[in-house]
Amino acid sequence: MTETSTITKTVTKAQPVARAAPVATTLLNSNVITIDATGLIVGRLAAYVAKKAITGSHVDIINIEKAVISGNPKQVIRVWEKRRTMTNHANPEQASKWPRKPDLMFKKILSGMMPFGRRGKEASARVKAYLGGEGKTTKVTKQVRDSSKLNRGFISLAQLCKALGGWNKG
């Protein structure tokens, strides 16, 4: 005589995972990175900061106006002037807006290196760029190649913004 048995499966609904606020996580892990941007190349700095922010670290950048863009200064200014004047012919109000203040310009450059959607917005919120370094006395790390080995010209963000008719430190 063969006996048949029925197997019953209990299906449970997946419970949502409670997520802690990013600020509380930061305070517990204390994974705040402070970078002095003096003489650092903007593109390399932005790529490094984007990677750290995506992985969950909070990044503070001080002296962002002293970061540099490599290349002939006249040509760099010409390229950025052209970028600022580009418009959408169908609707000029929909054109990209490029700021003329060094910290905001860096954040705009950084946003191009972040993923789209919620993950990128959360990572961007973990990055703070400061003009000058007053008020920041934490440990400063420098892990990005700087402009000391450049064999060509370069222009700082402060000089570029001044040439574009924007931010002037004085």
pLDDT for residue 85: 78
Task: Count the domains in the chain.
Answer: 1
Q: In the predicted model, is pLDDT for residue 17 greater than 60?
A: no
pLDDT of 22 > 60? The answer is no
159: containing domain: 29-163
Q: Considering the domain boundaries, does residue 128 fall inside one?
A: yes
Q: Is residue 18 part of a domain?
A: no
Q: Cα(84)–Cα(164) distance, rounded to whole angstroms? A: 9
Confidence at residue 18, expressed as pLDDT on a 0 to 100 scale: 45
Rounded distance between C-alpha atoms, residue 55 and residue 142, angstroms: 18
Q: How confident is the model at residue 161 (pLDDT cuts 50, 70, 90)?
A: confident
Average confidence score pLDDT of the chain = 77
Q: What pLDDT is recorded for position 168?
A: 67
First-residue to last-residue Cα distance in the chain: 98
Segment among 13-27, 59-73, 100-114 with least mean pLDDT: 13-27
Please indicate whether residue 170 or residue 61 has the higher confidence score (pLDDT): 61
Asked whether residue 168 is assigned to any structural domain, the reply reads no
CATH number at residue 62: 3.90.1180.10
Residue 103, domain member (yes or no) = yes
Residue 121: per-residue pLDDT: 93
Instruction: Give domain status of residue 12, yes or no.
Output: no
**Residues 94-145 pLDDT 10s:** 777 778 888 888 998 999 999 999 999 999 999 999 888 765 555 555 566 6
Does the predicted model carry a pTM greater than 0.75?
A: no
Specify if 152 maps to a domain: yes
Using alpha carbons only, what angle is made at residue 129 by residues 123 and 134, rounded to the nearest 5 degrees?
Answer: 140
Does residue 67 lie in a domain region?
yes
Which of 13 and 103 is assigned the larger pLDDT? 103
Q: At residue 159, does pLDDT exceed 70?
A: yes
Query: How many Å apart are CA 47 and CA 123, to the nearest integer?
Result: 13
Instruction: Give the per-residue SS3 of the chain.
Output: CCCCCCCCCCCCCCCCCCCCCHHHHHHHHCCEEEEECCCEEHHHHHHHHHHHHHCCCEEEEECHHHCEEECCHHHHHHHHHHHHHCCCCCCHHHCCCCCCCHHHHHHHHHHCCCCCCHHHHHHHHCEEECCCCCCCCCCEECCCCEHHHCCCCEEEHHHHHHHCCCCCCC
Q: Which of 76-80, 137-141, 161-165 has the lowest mean pLDDT?
A: 137-141
Residue 7 falls within a domain, yes or no?
Answer: no
